[in-house]
Amino acid sequence: MGMFNRLLSSYVGFFGSINAKRQRLYNNAPKGALKDFLAVPFPQPSTPFEQVPILAVDFETTGLNAVNDKLLSVGYVNMQNKQIKLGQSYHQVINTGQKLKTDNVLIHRITDAQQAQGEPLETVVENLLQALAGKVMLVHFARIERQFLQQACLELYGLAPVFPIIDTLALAKRRLDKRDIAYDPSELRLANLRTHYHLPNHFAHNALNDAVATAELLLAQLSDQHQEKTPLKALLF
């Protein structure tokens, strides 16, 4: 019981600190999309998963360094009550103003001509922040989305936001680590995890497709573990 209480206290402390930081950032944020996002409290940590408003998000980027590389496309889809709301989805290519590298184009399949017709970074980030307000971000491999979104906000607004995250890769790693036997890190890839849960192949490296694929994976992970009633605090990255 002592260990459980310490774990619960750590989650409560996390949410207390993240909401306190959200409030501090709100006080210093310029008027606009970021301030509006920071004005909305995050869901309570005790909220059952099925009641948590979630936005599954994926980015395509020009590289892996959030400082030197750029956001190239954003895709997201809403989740609520264990349902993926395909009618509440979004996909947009961003005009980075830079010529794309050939090896990068081979991965995400976005051409210079396509990005030239894309929206400005500010427009896409504003849409994302509006959609994300009051929700938990769902991703696969949180480092990319967290760092690139924070860097974009630094460039646009001078502040990096905080936000709660569920990471399907982290959830899978926890499950594998509990077995206490060696495993191949490739098992944690989105496509391989979907195969493990008998989910169909998807067209990878398209931001919206990957966001939907991540949402489907989360539902499979929780169903497999009989965790539909799991509180949010047990899922956070």
CA–CA dist 90, 199 (Å, integer): 22
Task: Provide the pLDDT for residue 122.
Answer: 98
Q: Looking at residue 76, which CATH number applies to its domain?
A: 3.30.420.10
What pLDDT sits at residue 180?
83
pLDDT along the chain (237 residues), means of 10: 41 68 95 97 92 97 95 97 96 95 86 95 98 98 97 97 97 92 95 97 94 97 76 93
Tokens of 198: 């008998």
* Ordered DSSP codes for 67-125: TTS-EEEEEEEEEETTEEEEEEEEEEEB--SSPPPHHHHHHH---HHHHHTSBPHHHHH
- Residue-level pLDDT at 104: 83
Alpha carbon distance 126, 195 (integer Å): 34
User: Of 176, 150, 167, nearest to 214 (Cα)?
Assistant: 167
Q: End-to-end CA distance of the chain: give it in Å, rounded.
A: 23
Neighbours of 22 (CB within 10 A): 21
The domain in which residue 158 lies consists of 2-234
pLDDT at 229: 76
Q: Tally the domains of the chain.
A: 1
Q: What's residue 4's pLDDT? A: 38
Res 12: pLDDT: 46
HSE (side-chain half, CA atoms, 13 Å) at 227 = 16
Pairing of strands 83-93, 71-80: antiparallel
DSSP single-letter state for residue 197: T
